[in-house]
């Protein structure tokens, strides 16, 4: 008996007038260096200001100017913020890509385009809105150099009229973006008005997309992950920042420097209470951060994959010498130079074991700008608590794109500097050994130069528990085994995984970082389209907690979703799990450089589950499996080391 098809939503024809409200994506295709980012952010903020959940993603070239760039805004009433695979509304401003941009659209999409491009001849299943941008901008702006920048605001005005975006809200967004430049505000406001009026006078609404006010953004902010991490570092008490510019991490330290200059200058003396050094390369940057950590400062650097590769030897020194520092890795596509302005989760394995010999590093995996802030703070406490480098593994999508967030909470708990030796502790233990495990947790006591406590000689060569030079095998074994114990102790101190257990699910998801947002949406797609219920385990840190084993035990198959080719997180799990656990794991991999989308996850899971996936012009839709893959409940095991929500 042939398996029945699931219900497939009818694709609207060109005569379908059903409105699609607060659920679409806009893609703006321009040229890098044309000043379009201001117009794009004003558009994003205008929709956000109407109470509609939004996200903004910028795909730009790695050169300075002249190559294509695309900015995508997603508005979604249900709060989905992952990249949407389909484009609903295209603004085609770049002659080099306009044809391809139009040909890849789904049927019934809408296109605003520069009139001379004559794109309406390419397809007859789209709605077109040709706009004479050059002609319109001449009436707004006389200087030819400014016209290139100001013409972008015209498409904002056209979109405002066609989609129903509140004009007052757009004016407020403009003032927020350019408020310190009154003449620029006036000029761009005129361009907005010209675009709005032109659309009002020349276009009859032919597409189904529009916005209506909601109340889902109250109390929320828009911010980039790098800026959030900078604020977290500031709140953590960072005093030494050593860095080397590299895309996509540069804006983290650049933003932090601005905050330090504003909040960390002594008001009485006018002197800075911080130190910032732009190093000659990543090797020098991490070396200085480690030196500052040894001296007692809260230190950090930020980098991306190529910088991580260069930092290997120094990372080994900090690991073996047990020196705290924080390293933000805003990941991009590799290897080598790779695609510097595309996103990936490709540094997981490299970073976990960075350096030669037996090294294992603590890693945190923020999935949101809120966690860039909170984990950015927590990383400094963990680095000093465990006297080791801590890596905060962000990515380009999170670090450089604009995300919606609740306002950040002001920290209330005191800074944790870990086991810093003081007089009462020295009296208790009797003798100071820098690498002596007094408490049995693998973490020794440390002293800071100038604190009048016993000194020691730091070395990256062999040493015993008293920090004396030694090549004795037993001293080496004792030392590296103690550091291994410290790594085990850290498991229960790191951020706990976030776990959602569905008692009816035989299928589970594991994800981390920005893959989280696509997984959230994919789970809903699977449930809506084929009644496939799932559980979810979001990894927040490495080393893993024992809750990971418990989660796998509850499910027949578990899909590990990540943005790299080689299943790096799954490979880390294989090193710690039993063969029985490993046999239940499957991979869903996305590594094109574009942020991962829900549709791609859904399609891959359906295929691996034995469903036939029928491609439609609108999306891919799952059909019932050829063989039974549904499952009943799986026995539950209690787990106390995860943030868990169960659905009965």
For 406-465, the pLDDT digits (tens) are 999 999 999 999 999 999 999 999 999 999 999 999 999 999 999 999 999 999 999 999
2 has a pLDDT exceeding 70: no
Range in 15-29, 226-240, 289-303 the model is least confident about:
15-29
Query: 615 pLDDT band (50/70/90 cuts)?
Result: low
pLDDT at 17 (0 to 100): 59
DSSP for 23-92 reads: EEEEEEEEETTSSHHHHHHHHHHHHHHTT--EEEEEE--SSSSSSEEEEEEEEETT---SBPSS-SEEEE
- What pLDDT does residue 646 have? 57
b/e map of 562-599 (b: 16 or more CB within 10 Å)? Answer: bbbeebbbbbbbeeebeeebeeebbbbbbbebbbbbbb
Q: What is the pLDDT of residue 67?
A: 85
Q: Break the chain into its structural domains and give their ranges.
A: 20-210, 223-406, 423-490, 498-647
Tell the CATH topology of 20-210. Answer: Pyruvate-ferredoxin Oxidoreductase; domain 3 (3.40.920)
Residue 640 scores a pLDDT above 50: no
pLDDT at 63: 75
> In the 8-state DSSP scheme, what is residue 230?
H
**What is the band of 1 on the pLDDT scale with cuts at 50, 70, 90?**
very low
Identify any residues that bridge with 220 across adjacent strands, giving them in sequence order. 406
647 pLDDT band, cuts 50/70/90, is low
The answer to whether residues 437 and 479 touch, using CB atoms and an 8 Å cutoff, is no
In this chain, the answer to whether the domains covering 20-210 and 498-647 adopt an identical fold is no
State the average pLDDT for the chain: 92
Look up the CATH architecture of domain 498-647: 3-Layer(aba) Sandwich (3.40)
Nearest 5°: phi and psi at 27? Answer: -115, 125
Q: How far is it, in rounded angstroms, from Cα 395 to Cα 411?
A: 24
**CATH no. of 223-406:** 3.40.50.970
What is the token pair recorded at 176? 């927020």
3-state secondary structure of 108: coil
Other Cβ atoms less than 10 A from the Cβ of 231: the count is 19
pLDDT in tens, 483-520: 999 999 999 999 999 999 999 999 999 999 999 999 99
Give the pLDDT mean for 332-344. Answer: 96
Residue 22 pLDDT exceeds 50: yes
Check: CB of residue 537 under 8 Å from CB of residue 509.
yes
- Per-residue pLDDT tens digits for 293-321: 999 999 999 999 999 999 999 999 999 99
CA 253 to chain centre: 17
Nearest to 520 by CA among 504, 529, 509, 531: 509
Spatial contact of 515 and 596, defined as CB atoms under 8 Å apart? yes
pTM: predicted TM-score of the whole model, two decimal places: 0.92
pLDDT at position 146: 82
Least confident window among 60-74, 84-98, 531-545 = 60-74
Tell me: the pLDDT tens digits for 33-43? 778 999 999 99
In the beta sheet, which residues pair with residue 100?
none
Per-residue pLDDT reduced to its tens digit, 157-186? 999 999 999 999 999 999 988 877 888 899
Residue 40's Cβ-side half-sphere holds a number of Cα atoms within 13 Å equal to: 28
Number of H helices and E strands in the chain, helices first, is 21, 26
Contact indicator for 330, 395 with CB cutoff of 8 Å: yes
* Length of the chain, in residues: 648
Do the Cβ atoms of 563 and 591 come closer than 8 Å? yes
The candidate with the shortest Cα–Cα distance to 163, out of 200, 206, 101, 210, is 210
Q: Cα-Cα-Cα-Cα dihedral of 240, 243, 248, 254, to 10°?
A: 60
State the alpha helices, DSSP H only, in 264-331: 282-294, 305-310, 312-321
Query: Among 2-11, 570-579, 603-612, whose mean pLDDT is lowest?
Result: 2-11
pLDDT computed for residue 64 by the predictor? 65
From CA 275, how far away is CA 253, in angstroms rounded? 12
- Indicate whether 16 pLDDT > 60: no
**Which pLDDT score, from 0 to 100, does residue 181 have?**
85
Higher pLDDT, 150 or 223: 223
The answer to whether 593 and 547 are in contact (CB under 8 A) is: no
Percent of the chain with pLDDT over 70: 92
Average of per-residue pLDDT across 130-159:
90
- The dihedral of CA 104, 108, 114, 116: what is its sign? positive
Q: Check residue 409 and report its DSSP letter.
A: P
Alpha-carbon distance 395 to 345, whole Å?
7
User: 103 or 644: whose pLDDT is higher?
Assistant: 103
* SS3 per residue for 533-582: CEEEEEECEECCCCHHHHHHHCCCEEEEEECCCCCHHHHHHHHHCCHHHH
Contact 181, 149 (CB under 8 A): no
Over range 260-281, report the average pLDDT. Answer: 96
Question: Strand 362-364 vs strand 389-395: parallel, antiparallel, or unpaired?
Answer: parallel
Q: State the pLDDT at residue 642.
A: 54
Q: Is pLDDT at 629 greater than 50 in this prediction?
A: no
**pLDDT surpassing 70 at residue 150:** yes
With a cut of 50, say whether residue 366 has pLDDT above it. yes
């Amino acid at each position: 008996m042939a398996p029945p098809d699931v219900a497939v939503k009818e694709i609207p024809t060109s005569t379908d007038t059903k409105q699609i409200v607060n659920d679409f994506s806009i893609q703006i295709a321009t040229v890098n260096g044309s000043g379009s980012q201001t117009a794009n952010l004003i558009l994003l903020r205008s929709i956000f200001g109407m109470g509609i959940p939004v996200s903004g993603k910028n795909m730009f070239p790695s050169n300075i100017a002249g190559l294509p760039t695309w900015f995508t805004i997603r508005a979604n009433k249900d709060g989905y913020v992952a990249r949407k695979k389909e484009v609903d509304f295209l603004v085609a401003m770049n002659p080099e890509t306009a044809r391809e941009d139009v040909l890849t659209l789904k049927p019934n999409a809408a296109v605003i385009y520069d009139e001379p491009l004559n794109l309406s001849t390419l397809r007859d299943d789209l709605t077109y809105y040709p706009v004479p941008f050059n002609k319109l901008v001449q009436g707004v702006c006389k200087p030819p150099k400014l016209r290139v920048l100001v013409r972008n605001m015209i498409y904002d005005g056209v979109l405002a009229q066609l989609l129903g975006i509140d004009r007052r809200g757009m004016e407020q967004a403009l003032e927020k973006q350019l408020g310190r430049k009154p003449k620029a505000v006036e000029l761009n406001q005129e361009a907005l008005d010209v675009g709005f009026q032109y659309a009002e006078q020349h276009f009859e609404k032919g597409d189904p997309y529009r916005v209506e006010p909601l109340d889902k953004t109250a109390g929320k902010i828009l911010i980039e992950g790098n800026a959030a991490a900078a604020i977290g570092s500031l709140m953590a008490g960072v005093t030494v920042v050593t860095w080397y510019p590299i895309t996509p991490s540069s804006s983290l330290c650049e933003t932090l420097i601005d905050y330090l200059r504003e909040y960390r200058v002594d008001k009485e003396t006018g002197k800075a209470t911080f130190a910032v050094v732009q190093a000659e390369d990543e090797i020098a940057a991490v070396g200085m951060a480690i030196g500052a950590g040894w001296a007692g400062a809260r230190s950090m650097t930020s980098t991306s994959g190529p910088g991580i590769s260069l930092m290997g030897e120094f990372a080994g020194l900090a690991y073996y010498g047990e020196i705290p520092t924080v390293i933000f890795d805003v990941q991009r596509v590799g290897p080598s130079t790779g695609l510097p302005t595309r996103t990936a989760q490709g540094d997981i394995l490299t970073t976990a074991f960075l350096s030669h010999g037996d090294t294992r590093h603590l890693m945190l995996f923020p999935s949101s700008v809120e966690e860039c802030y909170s984990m950015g703070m927590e990383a400094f406490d963990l680095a000093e608590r465990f006297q080791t480098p801590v890596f905060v593994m962000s990515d380009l999508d999170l670090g450089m794109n604009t995300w919606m967030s609740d306002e950040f909470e002001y920290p209330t708990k005191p800074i944790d500097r870990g086991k810093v030796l003081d007089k009462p502790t020295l009296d208790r233990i009797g003798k100071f050994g820098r690498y002596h495990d007094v408490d049995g947790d693998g973490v020794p006591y440390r002293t800071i130069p100038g604190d009048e406590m016993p000194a020691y000689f730091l070395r990256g060569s062999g040493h015993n528990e008293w920090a004396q030079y030694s090549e004795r095998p037993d001293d080496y074994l004792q030392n590296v085994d103690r550091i291994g114990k410290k790594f085990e102790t850290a498991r229960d101190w790191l951020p706990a995984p976030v776990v959602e257990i569905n008692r009816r699910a035989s299928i589970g998801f594991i994800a981390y970082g920005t893959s989280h947002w696509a997984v959230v949406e994919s789970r809903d797609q699977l449930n809506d389209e084929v009644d496939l219920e799932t559980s979810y385990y979001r990894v927040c840190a490495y080393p893993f907690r024992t809750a990971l084993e418990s989660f796998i035990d509850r499910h027949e198959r578990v899909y590990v979703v990540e943005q790299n080719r080689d299943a790096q997180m799954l490979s880390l799990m294989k090193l710690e799990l039993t063969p029985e656990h490993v046999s239940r794991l499957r991979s869903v991999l996305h590594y094109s450089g574009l942020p991962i989308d829900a549709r791609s996850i859904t399609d891959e899971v359906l295929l691996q589950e034995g469903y036939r996936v029928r491609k439609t012009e609108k999306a891919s839709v799952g059909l019932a499996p050829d063989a039974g893959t549904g499952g009943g409940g799986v026995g539950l095991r209690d787990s106390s080391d995860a943030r868990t929500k169960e659905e009965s």
